[in-house]
Amino acid sequence: MTVSPVQPLDFSGLHTYSVHDRHSKVSIDDFAAPVRPGMSLRELLAGLPRQLAGADFPDLVERLATARRAKRPVLVGMGAHVIKVGLNPVLIDLMRRGVITALALNGAGIIHDTEIAMVGRTSEEVADVLGAGAFGAARETGEVLNTASRDGAARGIGIGQAGGETLLAHRFAHNDQSLLAQAAVLGVTVTV
């Protein structure tokens, strides 16, 4: 087999500019401050990055505090990645403190949260199972969520509430780490 020679790329039309002249979105002036022993929460928040999404975080914290002081609801709408990166304990703590008054999850969120409650782990490597048609085919997860769906429909409640109550009824080992289960314990509304 003959290999065709590769023609070099033609860069004659490429125009460059100096990095010194370009407007940049990220600057070391906006970098985070390192955490110090004895640092207060206020100092920690003030030391967060002030660029891109980091600039929004202090504003979010202030808005949440203002809403709760005014006794207004705080609904957190989220997908599964929040669960998959391990933030359930933080969200559960905010529910316990009355900061989060309701949750809105997508379907992937209740799947991952259910698996956290059941076995303390979740999320499979898609590339390893997709070709075999086995992605998302964990038997127990489907059984628990189908039970919750049927029970919720029969009782006229949604899958968020029914899911949490079903997890609690099964007394899974990691219900303490489940958003659905803890929302059911705390009376926090969950919609899916």
136 and 94, same structural domain? Answer: yes
DSSP lists the bridge partners of residue 189 as: 102
Are 40 and 135 members of one domain? no
Contacts 24+ apart (CB under 8 A), 15-18: none
* pLDDT tens for each residue of 128-155: 767 777 677 788 999 999 999 999 999 9
CA 51 to chain centre: 21
Cα dihedral 76, 77, 78, 79 sign? positive
Q: Please, which pLDDT band fits residue 62 given cuts at 50, 70 and 90?
A: confident
Q: Can you give the residue range of the structural domain that contains 92?
A: 73-191
Largest CA distance in the chain: 76
Tokens of 56: 């929004």
Residues 101 and 178 in one domain: yes
What total number of domains does the chain contain? 2
Q: Does 13 map to a domain? A: no
What value does the CA radius of gyration of the chain take, rounded to a whole number of Å? 24
Helices (H), 5-158: 41-46, 57-69, 80-84, 88-96, 107-119, 126-129, 139-155
The two tokens of residue 174 are 């990691």
User: Using an 8 Å Cβ cutoff, are 110 and 192 in contact?
Assistant: yes
Q: What is the pLDDT of residue 46?
A: 80
Residue 185: CATH number of its domain? 3.40.910.10
Query: What is d(CA 48, CA 107) in angstroms, rounded to the nearest whole number?
Result: 32
73-119 tens-digit pLDDT? 999 999 999 999 899 999 999 999 999 999 999 999 999 999 999 99
- CA 108 remoteness from chain centre: 11
Q: Of 18, 53, 72, at which residue does a domain stop?
A: 72
CA gap 50, 31 in Å, rounded:
7
User: Could you tell me if 47 and 96 lie in one domain?
Assistant: no
Instruction: Check residue 179 and give its pLDDT.
Output: 98
The pLDDT > 90 percentage for the chain reads 57
pLDDT of 33 > 90? The answer is no
Distance of CA 178 to the CA centre of its chain: 13
SS3 77: strand
* Residue 99 included in any domain: yes
Adjacent-strand bridge partners of 105: 78
